[in-house]
Amino acid sequence: MRNPSPIPFLDLAAEIAPLRAEIDAAIGGVLDSGRLLLGEELEAFEEEFAAFNGGGHVAGVASGLAALILMLRAFDIGPGDEVLVPANTYIATWLAISHVGARPVPVDPSPATRNLDVSHLASSVTERTRAVLAVHLYGSPCDMDALEEFCRSQGLWLLVDAAQSCGAAWKGRRSSCLGDGAAFSFYPTKNLGALGDAGAVLFPDPVRAERVKLLRNYGMKDRYHHDYKGENARLEELHAAVLRVKLRHLERGNIRRRELARIYRDILGGTPDLTLQEVPKEATPVWHLFTVTLPRRDQVAEKLAEQGIGTAIHYPVPPHRSGAYREDPGGWPELPVTETMAQSILSLPLYPTLRERSVQRTAHALLQALGHPPSL
């Protein structure tokens, strides 16, 4: 039998190829204009991205981490403050809190949704708590109704790390996923990816967006008059121009991701030992990642690799176990769900250019590796 072709975990070249003519034209337009920073492409992208999200005010910035940091600064969150954050997220969510001088307070997620469980939040609130920084992990929205009610009752800001959830919706509305402020990453592998690093912050309140526009550019209002201690965190014109092209194709890609996720879920649902991410009925996920949890994760990944099927782990080391956070003065709470998840989670290939038969082959290979040969 011929070896079947490999199924890479990601294939960015294949994703960019069909957009090549549009991207070349966008880049050419910037080169012809001679304007490389803080120009028309950025302004147009900010408007189009706000419209895509159902309103709000957008400030484009240099990365997802910059977006998170400047979002926190727009709410004056800093030294002495605490921010509740999921324990099972990418470390950038935590680093943003640390970089503004505040303290991340980790909360264990629900093992079913892999997202914040509001019933675990109350016991972590102190008089220093200022905000919840929720993450719609893997592109699946948290329960926004419960989070909003909780934050309102406690007098906290509801902030969102939307790095993985560009285009996701709650009760059919994208704007309902975004809280009092949302930070996006356009890292190349994200659902809306630039050709390098880029990010954005969206607020319902235009004053906060204006504040981020100053902070991203050295805190400068009028030339060489600096109102704040700002940063160099601008979104470049070349990236903005390319993001405008890619934004036009985002929803189509997200729909395709949902179709492919459906195939995985139909084949893998109900398999003993294997759990899928539970999606609340009010949520429209965008499947940035398709994850399963399973026993003997590393051996299973190895068996898939032998068949040319790429997988990845998001994330093998939770932030509180990383070297960066080894010296927390207060000590970390028990986080059993997060610890178990780091041992058992596995991401399967899922992207718009992936073929349906590759999804089927991956799912069947996974069942086989688990000792559950598919019934034919």
Environment class of 127 (CB within 10 Å of its CB; exposed 0-12, middle 13-18, buried 19+): exposed
Q: Which residue's CB is nearer to ligand PLP, number 131 or number 366?
A: 131
| Candidate residues 113, 129, 140, 164; the one interacting with ligand PLP per rule CB under 6 A | 164
Pattern 61-100, binding to ligand PLP, x per CB under 6 A? --xxx-----------------------xx-xx-------
Say if strands 275-276 and 290-293 run parallel, antiparallel, or are unpaired: antiparallel
Output the smallest distance, CB 268 to ligand PLP, in A.
23
Cα angle, residue 169 at apex, residues 138 and 201 outer, rounded to 5° = 75
Is residue 185 a contact residue for ligand PLP (CB under 6 A)? yes
| Strand, coil or helix: 152 | helix
Note whether 166 and 250 are within 8 A (CB): yes
Q: Which residue's CB is nearer to ligand PLP, number 166 or number 241?
A: 166
| Nearest CA-CA partner of 168 in 337, 53, 83, 308 | 53
Is residue 140 a contact residue for ligand PLP (CB under 6 A)? no
Q: Which two tokens stand for residue 30?
A: 């910037």
Is residue 197 a contact residue for ligand PLP (CB under 6 A)? yes
How far apart are alpha carbons 21 and 14 in whole angstroms? 14
Q: Using CB under 6 A, count the residues that bind ligand PLP.
A: 15
| Candidate residues 117, 143, 161, 236; the one interacting with ligand PLP per rule CB under 6 A | 161
Output the smallest distance, CB 257 to ligand PLP, in A.
15
Binding residues for ligand PLP restricted to 45-64, rule: CB under 6 A: 63-64
Q: Which residue's CB is nearer to ligand PLP, number 63 or number 358?
A: 63
| Candidate residues 30, 135, 142, 274; the one interacting with ligand PLP per rule CB under 6 A | 135
How far apart are alpha carbons 107 and 118 in whole angstroms? 10
How many angstroms separate the Cα of 111 from the Cα of each of 75, 102, 115, 343?
A: 31, 27, 8, 13
Binding residues for ligand PLP restricted to 345-374, rule: CB under 6 A: none
Note whether 64 and 185 are within 8 A (CB): yes
Q: Which residue's CB is nearer to ligand PLP, number 99 or number 265?
A: 99
Q: Which two tokens stand for residue 54?
A: 């159902």
Q: Which residue's CB is nearer to ligand PLP, number 97 or number 263?
A: 97
Q: Which residues bind ligand PLP (CB under 6 A)?
A: 63-65, 89-90, 92-93, 135, 161, 163-164, 185, 187, 197, 199
